[in-house]
Homo-oligomer: A and B are copies of this chain.
Amino acid sequence: MTDWQEITGGVTAPRGYQAAGIRAGLKPSGLPDLALILSNVEAIAAGVFTTSQVKAACVDYCRQRLLSKQSARAILCNAGQANAATGSQGWLDALESAMILGQELNIPSESVLLASTGVIGRRIAMDKLKAGIPQLVAALSETGSDAAAEAIVTTDLVTKSIALETVIGDRPVRIGGIAKGSGMIHPNMATLLAFVTCDAAVSPTLWQQMLSRAADRSFNSITVDGDTSTNDSLIALANGQSRTPALTEMGADAEKLEAMLTAVCQHLAKAIARDGEGATCLIEVQVTGASDEQLATQVAKTIAGSSLVKAAIFGRDPNWGRIAAAAGRAGVPFEQESLKIQIGNFLLMENGQPLTFDRATASEYLKQAADSAMPQGMVATNMSNDLSGVDRTQIKTQRLDNPVIITVSIGNGHGSGKAWGCDLSYDYVKINAEYTT
């Protein structure tokens, strides 16, 4: 079914995009903190934003912009200050950011979308932002995706990036994406940001529909600790530079494009879950037998989000009882006699009753899935007390191909769904209990 191949280039892999990331001095650490993605032509733009009642100025700004005009040229992202809970001044800062970038790029400020991540309650350091923008624009490059990916992270241990290519009507079509996750060493930083570029030609309505569905099957199906940020933003551009026929409704080509978009989002989402604070492994929960996909996903998310399940996986404990209990409280009706639970290849429960299994070997499976995912000792670098205090030289590539797989069936329905999470370790508590100052 995977009708695409992985390519290099991130958000600059699709035709007609440039990107940049620079050090503007917004992060106390002096690490890269200002990123820009630019489409060479006006691109169709879609977005999915935090559902929180407490929203950052950039989220309000993007939502308003996309309501009045479903296209954009540029995405500007600053890391360091969240510009949330900053009142009317925060709103003016957002407007000014877009205006300054628009002037520098010689495009209308209405074509600029914004994202911020950092400490809640802090305004963007506007003097540094203003001084940085000319440098940022000067740094734009068709190979600038990695620089942008590095400038949007805060306390992430690794950057997140992907690009895929498929063929539509004999021509290559590409989608690229970068993201940052919820590495919240510091209070008030929990933001998920993801930026996706595509060179297909799609109508605004169809692109937004595709993005919303892809978000449900990726970013909305991961859980680190159940907290939702004030700044969560997923923005996707489609600029038509692949010169493929315009897609305006669902059909074979549109389905192909949506499947690839979903794969890009799922890769980024899994990378974020794997990089959850203190995590030692990625957990994938697959639920089948529900009456529809939504209910299956609801059960999967409840299991992936259960502190008891997460702590058991950290302890390499094949604890079917906690999985059963989490499934039972997901708010989805099922007959407990239908419950079937598997970890890896180990069948632990069937027809609602526990089975005999080799506990030591099952524990070994959990251990191997976890230990192969990231070098030991890596998380220990995540302890600094600086806002962006992670030793960036430690950033390594994640392995996402070896998660702990939990499979649950709750009946005979045709609905299936997946969710991703990470285990709960001592380091999660350590990271989040550390005092701000």
Contacts and interface: CB of A to CB of B under 8 A. Distances in A.
A412 to B, nearest CB: 15
A208 B298 CA distance: 31
Interface string A411-432: 0000000000000111011101
Contacts of A317: 187, 433-436
Interface string A208-220: 0000000000000
A322 interface: yes
A324 B433 contact: no
Contact of A426 (B359, B363, B426): B426
A308 B85 contact: no
A228 B432 contact: no
A220 to B, nearest CB: 13
A336 interface: yes
Question: Which of A85, A230, A354 lies at the interface centre, i.e. has the most chain B CB atoms within 10 A of its CB?
Answer: A85
Contacts of A322: 187-188, 227
B435 A425 contact: no
Contacts of A320: 121
Given A85-B349, A120-B321, A325-B229, A307 B432 contact: yes
A311 interface: yes
Copies in the complex: 2
Size range of the chain A interface in the assembly: 35 or more
Nearest to A321: B188
Contact of A307 (B85, B307, B324, B328): B307
A435 B311 CA distance: 10
A327 interface: yes
Nearest to A231: B325
Interface stretch (A32-40, A52-60, A71-79, A136-144): A52-60
Interface in A269-320: 305-308, 311-312, 314-317, 319-320
A228 B328 contact: yes
B428 A429 contact: yes
Given A53-B332, A120-B325, A363-B435, A225 B307 contact: yes
Q: Which 9 A-B pairs have the closest CB atoms?
A: A315-B433, A54-B328, A188-B321, A311-B432, A52-B328, A228-B329, A121-B354, A120-B321, A225-B307
Given A53-B327, A120-B321, 11 more contacts: A54-B336, A54-B352, A121-B321, A187-B321, A190-B308, A226-B226, A226-B305, A227-B307, A317-B434, A317-B435, A363-B435
